[in-house]
């Protein structure tokens, strides 16, 4: 939907990129919801690197600080899991522009639950 591309993945870490353009923007720059979606997706991918297949996660809390405007061009989201238990995970995401300036920083909490077969 947004055009995010997965980059480097490792245990508890994930990198996503997004080439932003007019469809991601309003007159002041890239919409904050696009940055939030990028952060949420990046950390979800980082969490999945540490979970068994068929596990479900759900975002339960998200805080994001928008630190600099971004007009157009590539954004890079670097996510890392800070703490993970059986039922929850907490992590952070830094979003930077192509000049490596910090555009946004996010702290997120997810619930974790195993997939349950029905039937």
pLDDT digits (tens, 9 = 90+) for 34-50: 999 999 999 999 999 99
- The CATH number of whichever domain residue 91 belongs to comes to 3.10.129.10
As a whole number, mean pLDDT of residues 10-28 equals 84
- As given in the structure block, the two tokens for residue 42 are 């990046």
Query: What band does 29 get if pLDDT is binned at 50, 70 and 90?
Result: confident
Predicted confidence (pLDDT) per residue in 95-111, tens digit: 999 999 999 999 999 99
As a whole number, mean pLDDT of residues 63-71 equals 90
Mean pLDDT of the chain: 91
> Which CA distances in Å does 86 have to 19, 57, 90, 110, 117?
35, 11, 12, 11, 19
Q: Within a domain: residue 119?
A: no
Q: Are 99 and 27 in contact (CB under 8 A)?
A: no
CB within 8 Å of 23: residues ≥ 6 apart: none
Q: Within a domain: residue 64?
A: yes
Q: Which pLDDT score is estimated for 12?
A: 98
Q: Which domain holds residue 73?
A: 5-114
Counted domains in the chain:
1
């Amino acid at each position: 939907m947004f055009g995010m591309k997965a980059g480097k993945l490792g245990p508890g870490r994930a990198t996503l990129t997004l080439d932003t353009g007019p469809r991601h923007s309003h007159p002041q720059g890239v919409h904050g919801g696009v940055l939030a979606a990028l952060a949420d997706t990046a950390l979800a991918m980082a969490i999945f690197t540490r979970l068994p297949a068929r596990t479900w996660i759900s975002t339960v809390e998200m805080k994001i600080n928008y630190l600099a405007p971004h007009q157009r061009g590539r954004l890079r989201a670097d996510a890392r899991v800070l703490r993970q238990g059986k039922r929850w995970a907490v992590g952070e995401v830094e979003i930077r522009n192509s000049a490596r300036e910090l555009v946004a920083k996010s702290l997120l909490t997810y619930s974790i639950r195993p997939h349950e077969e029905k039937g």
